[in-house]
Amino acid sequence: MKAAEIRELSTKDLIERIETERANLNRMQMNHAISPIENSGQIRAARKDIARMLTVLREKQINETKK
């Protein structure tokens, strides 16, 4: 997911999306520990997506406090 797409989401939607992505990441990590998944790069991509979402969420929170 690109940063521009993430910025279009509302704060509430963004928080929900972060929670679901974290759950998905945990599930992928557990599955990978039991039996290696074909593309382990998916785990890295999921971590980066979560980090992007958290960054945009923080930007939105800072902008809301400034107003």
* Domains assigned to the chain: 3-66 (1.10.287)
Q: Is the pLDDT of residue 61 over 80?
A: yes
DSSP 40: T
Residues 30-65 as b/e (b if ≥16 CB within 10 A, e otherwise) read eeeeeeeeeeeeeeeebeebbebbeebbeebeeeee
pLDDT tens for each residue of 6-33: 999 999 999 999 999 999 999 999 999 9
For the four alpha carbons of 9, 13, 18 and 21, in that order, the dihedral sign comes to negative
Model confidence at 1, in pLDDT bands (50, 70, 90)? Answer: confident
Query: Could you tell me the two tokens for 67?
Result: 């107003």
